[in-house]
Amino acid sequence: MLVPLALAQFICSFAGSNMNVMINDISEDLDTTVQGVQTVITVFLLVMAALMIPGGKLTDRWGRKRCFTLGLAVYGVGAMISAVSPGIGVLLVGNSILEGIGTALLIPPVYILTTMLFSDVTSRARAFGVITGMGGIGAAAGPLIGGLITTALSWRWAFVFQAVVVAAILVLSRPIHDPLPPDPTRSADTVGGVLSAVGLVLVVLGILAADDSGWLMLALLVAGGLVLAAFYRHIRTRERAGAEPLLSSGLFRNRVSNLGLVTQNVQWLMLLGTAFVVSAFLQVVRGYNAIETGVIFTAATGGILASSLAAERLARKRAQRTLIVAGFITTIAGIGVLLALVKGSPSVYAFAPGLLLVGLGVGVMLTPSVNVVQSAFPEERQGEISGLSRSVSNLGSSLGTAIAGTILVSGLSDQSYALAMIALGGVGLIGLLAAFALPANPTLPPVAPAPADGDPAYRSTSSVNDSSGA
């Protein structure tokens, strides 16, 4: 059962990073700029983040297996459109929109099905270790595989590769059955879905606009914050009226889950931000080709693979908070090495030690961060928390590409590279503080039906988790 679920996470993470090594090839072939390719990558990650919460909610109405299959189909169509795109606009539709929508439909079922199919803590941790490890490997191996395909054939064949993997997942996932039947009577909160998506889009667009106009950036960020505040007010109003909201407001009142979500967001921000900055810097500033750029990322891939393979053994010996803290310290150290060793060095191999540390650090904390969040709620809320968790993670990916990429693209020099890496390290410190604030041994909630409103149950869950070592 784990093979198709893990492959699905792998290919979606792969799609978020493999284009980083195709920047020169795509920009020349489609007559666009580095900033144009950055926009396509960021919008893909943003569409995933904006639609992941509604995607998680749809699993209750349509069924987890049906959403998973539909998401794969949409993703595959988007990959094939991207492969034959004649211009940046068509690539935006195929890669950013269709692949983004497909990912938002298929990823929440991956984590919901895993939570439901593996009930005890040990087996669930092992399953999450495989899936999140494959996600990290996909993100880190994306530049290598993308570079090999681009150099040997063309960047277009990287999208054909994605379509082939998706077809294989569809075949392999046939034996998987939904543990719970869908409930078509569940209400759809369309207004909530629109508000959450628009708010996230405005925030990321504001960051992307930083290079064009400071006032436009500020206006978009303020507008995004106001829309997200309106979203929270909307779901509270629906709860008071007895209607089912897009997300229960109680999800935001669980201290352990909130801190875990912060760590998820920051670790993906650092990983994808580092991948974009290093890839773009090597190609545009240092003049390396796709394969040379991709090969150096084997250091990060090896780091994630090594720490992911050790995740189960580490989970038996160390608390989840300890692993997350250690992961952040190692990742921040890797960013520091990337900043210190590369300055003035013409060799591409100067990037290897830093990328290795980043890979080791991210690999160590991926699984415990997901487990902390998913395990903070009972099965009845797995659809909601899975959508929120994946949305927060993908928002981190899009923010990493947007923030660090915008700083780098503004100058495309050694100085802009240094500023981008400093920004990533600074955000990493926020994640480290959140990790330190996690309780040492969070208490798992009892599996019991939640009331329609959800508030009393969530207050109870929150208070239990808050008292466990806080």
Question: What CATH code is carried by the domain that includes residue 230?
Answer: 1.20.1250.20
> Which residues, in sequence order, are CB contacts of 169 under 8 Å at separation 6+?
4, 7, 8, 11, 72
Identify which of 150, 108, 205 has the alpha carbon closest to the alpha carbon of residue 18: 150
Specify whether the CB–CB gap between 158 and 22 falls below 8 A: yes
Instruction: Supply the pLDDT for residue 90.
Output: 92
**Token match 């210190």: residue?**
340
What DSSP assignment string belongs to 186-216?
S---HHHHHHHHHHHHHHHHHHHGGGT-HHH
Instruction: Supply the pLDDT for residue 442.
Output: 59
What DSSP assignment string belongs to 409-469?
HTT-SHHHHHHHHHHHHHHHHHHHHHHHHS-SSPPPPP--PPPSS-HHHHHHHHHHHHHTT
> Which residues, in sequence order, are CB contacts of 215 under 8 Å at separation 6+?
none
Instruction: Supply the pLDDT for residue 238.
Output: 86
Instruction: Supply the pLDDT for residue 424.
Output: 92
Instruction: Supply the pLDDT for residue 83.
Output: 92
463 located within any domain: no
456 located within any domain: no
Question: Between the CA of residue 327 and those of 263, 315, 421, what are the distances in Å?
Answer: 10, 13, 17
Domain that holds residue 304: 2-177+192-241+254-448
Domain count, the chain: 1
What φ, ψ does residue 71 adopt, rounded to 5°?
-60, -40
Specify whether the CB–CB gap between 192 and 238 falls below 8 A: yes
pLDDT tens for the chain, residues 1 to 470: 788 888 898 888 888 778 877 888 888 888 888 778 878 887 887 788 778 778 777 777 788 888 889 999 999 999 999 999 988 889 999 988 999 899 888 888 887 888 777 766 667 667 777 787 787 778 777 888 888 888 888 889 999 999 999 999 999 988 888 777 777 767 677 788 888 888 888 887 777 776 666 778 788 889 988 998 998 898 888 888 887 787 787 788 888 888 989 999 899 899 888 888 888 888 878 778 777 777 887 888 788 878 877 766 777 777 788 889 999 999 999 999 888 876 666 677 788 888 899 989 988 888 788 778 877 777 667 667 776 777 788 778 778 877 887 788 777 677 888 888 899 999 999 999 999 988 876 555 544 333 334 443 333 333 333 323 32
246 located within any domain: no
158 located within any domain: yes
Instruction: Supply the pLDDT for residue 156.
Output: 92
386 located within any domain: yes
304 located within any domain: yes
459 located within any domain: no
Specify whether the CB–CB gap between 322 and 378 falls below 8 A: no
49 located within any domain: yes
**Token match 């106001």: residue?**
226
Specify whether the CB–CB gap between 189 and 238 falls below 8 A: yes
* 184 CB-contact burial (10 Å; exposed 0-12 / middle 13-18 / buried 19+): exposed
Torsion of CA 279, 283, 289, 295, to 10 degrees: -30
Give the pTM.
0.74
